[in-house]
C-alpha cells in the first residue's frame, strides 16, 4: 500500500490520481475531509500529522510513503523527521520525500524546513538502510490559475512581476513519483531536482496566456500583506513564510536545470504552453 500525505492538496491530488491510473494501491491522508472523496483510493485517513498516534496509524497502513509536507506549517520539520523515524522503525519498503528545488536556500522559510528533513532522512538512510528517494520539484505551474486569469483578466502576484521563476508541471512530478515507486531499489538514496522550464516572469506567463487565448489579461503586483489579507490568511507563520517568499523571489527569482527531469521522464518536460493548453481545454 502506497500512502500519500497532504493528498487533498493540489500536488497530492495529481499524484494520487496518477498512481491510481497506473493500477497501484493507494491510501491517502490529509487534515481536509475531502481526502475521503479522492477517486480510486483504497483507504483514507483524516487527521493531523502533528499527532504522533495518528502518524503511527497511517504508517502502520503503509508499505511505501510519498510524503508531501503540509503547506507552511511551523511543525513541518518535526512532522517529517517523525515520519522518517516511524518508517525506519517499521522497515518500510520506501520513503519518497517531495521536497523542493534548492532546499539549501535560507531566505525561504519552507525550504529550510525541507532541508532539515532531507538531512534527517539521509542520516536515517545510512543508519537503518531505510530505502528513500528525495524529489525536489520547482515552483508548480498550478500556481498560475488559468480559470481565475480568464475570468478576471488579471494575474495578481505578490513579488516583482518582472522576476523570473522556473516551473514544473505537477503531472510531470506525478509521473516521476510513479517511476520511483515502481522501482525502489533503482532509485534508493537518489536525490532528483525536478525543473521543467526556463525562468519566466509573471509578465511573460501572461503574455503566453494572451497569445493562446486572444485575451488582454495583465500581470499585476500586489504587496504581500494585501495579498494575504485578501485571502484572510492571518496565521503568523504562514504570513512570515509568504513574506520571505515575496522578498526572495523579488531579489533573486528562482531557477534550476531541467536535465534530470528530462532523463527521468525520457521525454521533454511539459512546457508552460502545454500546461495552458491542457487547462484551457477544461474550461
Domains of the chain: which residue ranges?
2-139+168-195+255-270
User: Strands 64-67 and 2-4: what pairing?
Assistant: parallel
Sign of CA dihedral 139, 193, 115, 106: negative
Q: How many residues in the chain?
A: 283
Say if domain 2-139+168-195+255-270 classifies as CATH 3.40.50.10210. no
pTM for the whole thing? 0.97
pLDDT tens for each residue of 214-249: 999 999 999 999 999 998 999 999 999 999 999 999
Q: What is the DSSP string of 122-140?
A: HHHHHHH---EEEEEE-EE
Q: Decide if 138 contacts 194 (C-beta within 8 A).
A: yes
Cβ contacts of 135 within 8 Å, gap of 6 or more: 96, 97, 98, 99, 173, 176, 177, 180, 192, 194
| Mean pLDDT, the chain, whole residue set | 97
Q: What is the DSSP letter of 6?
A: S
Task: Name the residue among 273, 272, 248, 277 with its Cα closest to residue 100.
Answer: 248
Give residue 230's Cα distance to chain centre. 23
Give me the residue label for grid cell 500512502.
Answer: 3
Q: Decide if 84 contacts 116 (C-beta within 8 A).
A: no
Helix (H) / strand (E) element for 253: namely none
Q: Radius of gyration of the chain from Cα atoms? A: 19
Residues in the chain with pLDDT < 70?
A: none
pLDDT tens for each residue of 44-86: 999 999 999 999 999 999 999 999 999 889 999 999 999 999 9
Q: For residues 237 and 67, what is the distance between their CA atoms, to the nearest angstrom? A: 21
Amino acid at each position: 500500500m502506497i500512502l500519500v500525505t497532504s493528498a487533498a492538496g493540489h500536488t497530492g491530488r495529481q499524484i494520487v490520481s496518477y498512481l491510481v491510473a497506473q493500477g497501484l494501491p493507494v491510501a491517502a491522508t490529509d487534515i481536509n475531509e475531502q481526502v475521503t472523496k479522492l477517486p480510486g483510493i483504497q483507504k483514507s485517513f483524516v487527521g493531523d500529522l502533528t499527532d504522533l498516534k495518528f502518524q503511527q496509524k497511517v504508517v502502520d497502513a503503509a508499505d511505501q510513503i510519498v510524503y508531501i509536507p503540509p503547506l507552511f506549517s511551523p511543525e513541518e520539520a518535526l512532522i517529517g523527521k517523525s515520519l522518517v523515524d516511524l518508517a525506519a522503525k517499521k522497515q518500510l519498503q520506501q520513503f519518497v520525500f517531495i521536497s523542493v528545488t534548492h532546499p539549501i536556500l535560507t531566505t525561504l522559510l519552507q525550504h529550510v524546513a525541507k532541508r532539515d528533513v532531507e538531512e534527517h532522512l539521509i542520516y536515517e538512510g545510512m543508519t537503518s538502510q531505510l530505502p528513500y528517494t528525495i524529489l525536489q520539484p520547482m515552483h508548480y505551474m498550478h500556481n498560475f490559475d488559468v480559470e481565475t486569469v480568464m475570468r478576471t483578466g488579471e494575474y495578481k502576484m505578490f513579488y516583482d512581476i518582472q522576476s523570473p521563476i522556473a516551473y514544473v508541471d505537477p503531472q510531470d512530478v506525478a509521473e516521476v513519483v510513479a517511476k520511483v515507486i515502481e522501482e525502489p531499489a533503482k532509485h534508493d538514496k537518489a536525490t532528483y531536482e525536478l525543473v521543467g522550464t526556463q525562468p519566466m516572469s509573471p509578465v511573460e506567463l501572461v503574455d503566453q496566456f494572451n497569445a493562446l487565448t486572444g485575451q488582454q489579461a495583465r500581470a499585476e503586483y500586489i504587496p504581500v500583506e494585501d495579498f494575504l489579507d485578501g485571502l484572510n490568511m492571518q496565521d503568523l507563520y504562514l504570513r512570515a513564510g509568504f513574506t520571505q517568499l515575496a522578498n526572495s523571489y523579488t531579489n533573486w527569482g528562482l531557477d534550476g536545470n531541467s536535465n534530470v527531469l528530462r532523463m527521468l521522464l525520457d521525454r521533454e518536460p511539459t512546457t508552460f504552453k502545454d500546461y495552458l493548453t491542457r487547462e484551457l481545454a477544461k474550461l
